[in-house]
Amino acid sequence: MSGIYVYSDEANLAGELLGFAAGMGRQATAVVFSQEEAEAVKGFGAEKVLIFSGDSPLAEQYAKALATYLDAEQAELFLVGMTPRGRELAARVAGYLGCGMASDALSLTPVEGGFKAEKMLYGGVAILAETLESPCVVTLSSGKAEVKSAPDSPIETLDVQADTRVRLVATEPLVKQGVDLNAAEKVVGVGLGLSKQEDMRIAEELAETLGAELACTRSVAEERNWLPVEQYLGISGAIIKPQLYLSMGISGQIQHIIGVRDAKIIVGIDTNENAPIFKAADYGIVGDLYEIVPLLTETIKNA
């Protein structure tokens, strides 16, 4: 077996995957599909950067060529970032290889003959641990490792044949309205404890005072439409790892906690002393957020 190969169409996430491999005591090869992508990831500590070059701009159309290469090289693991394009490529490569695949793994450790992966089941109620024999494919979300700078890696280009049975007719950029919560050091989360949209100003003032970004639960984004969907936290939303996460009016069901449990410090504010958020929080305040949050904001301003 000749090692680990990583891919993500998001350069920073590719850097995290390389950092994750390093955390397992392994150096990995970064797989890319253009010179531009190679330039973006070459400083993240890869053993080398491997460009699969062909006549298609779509990474997923190189799945068969990539699988053939990984098989010939007797690769142990293909580690892929959890993006829409990453999921598509990972599934296709696993299919061509006829190997095991774990999606959105929480943890991954080398074992004899393969890797042990853990992932959530039933919305986070249970954790499944499974052992995948090498070669295998695993997808990871962001926040699992740090990006590390390193001297530029050597770049190698392979000329390969793309599968062009599906053609790209047109592209239209997806305009994101929300902020990049993954990069935030501090985050204030808003739940259904706020009774009307005008009261969002209470949370906004606290976030501004803390120098934090504003986030929310799924219901606030998708049902009430008070914030963009990019700003809701949870198992099907953003999964963050800030220094501070402060929630207000959020009960803290497991689907939400999955998105914030890696925060260094969690503070919860809720009227219900039995709210699940307090089991996950480092600090909890039982009380009315309409009274507590303005006082907290004023105290921080005067500190």
Q: How far apart are CA 45 and CA 41, in angstroms?
A: 8
pLDDT one-digit tens code per residue, 43-90: 999 999 999 999 888 899 999 999 999 999 999 999 999 988 999 999
**Which of 109-113, 128-132, 237-241, 268-272 bottoms out in mean pLDDT, i.e. has the lowest?**
237-241
Q: 4-159 with 186-302: one CATH topology?
A: yes
- Which residues have CB under 8 Å from 173's CB, separation 6+? none
Q: For residues 4-26, give the mean pLDDT.
A: 94
Q: For residues 173-189, give the mean pLDDT.
A: 81
Confidence of residue 298 (pLDDT cuts 50, 70, 90): very high
If one counts every other C-beta atom within 10 angstroms of the C-beta of residue 74, the result is 11
- Number of H helices and E strands in the chain, helices first, is 9, 15
Q: How far apart are CA 230 and CA 221, in angstroms?
A: 8
Q: Is 173 helix (H, G, I), strand (E, B) or coil?
A: coil
Identify residue 135 by its one-letter amino acid code. Answer: P
Residues present in the chain in total: 303
Side-chain-side CA neighbours of residue 128 (13 Å): 12
C-beta separation of 167 from 196 below 8 A = no
Residue 123, pLDDT score: 64
4-159 topology per CATH: Rossmann fold (3.40.50)
DSSP-derived letter for residue 232 is B
Q: Is the pLDDT higher at 176 or at 288?
A: 288
- Name the CATH superfamily for 186-302: TPP-binding domain (3.40.50.1220)
Please say if the pLDDT value at position 102 is more than 80: yes
Residue 166, pLDDT score: 78
Give, in order, the Cα–Cα distances in Å from 144 to each of 17, 62, 65, 182: 8, 26, 28, 11
pLDDT one-digit tens code per residue, 241-295: 999 999 999 999 988 998 898 899 999 999 999 999 999 999 999 999 999 999 9
Q: How far apart are CA 92 and CA 60, in angstroms?
A: 8
Domain range annotation of the chain:
4-159, 186-302
Q: Which two tokens stand for residue 216?
A: 């929310």
Q: How far apart are CA 12 and CA 246, in angstroms?
A: 26
pLDDT one-digit tens code per residue, 224-237: 999 998 899 988 78
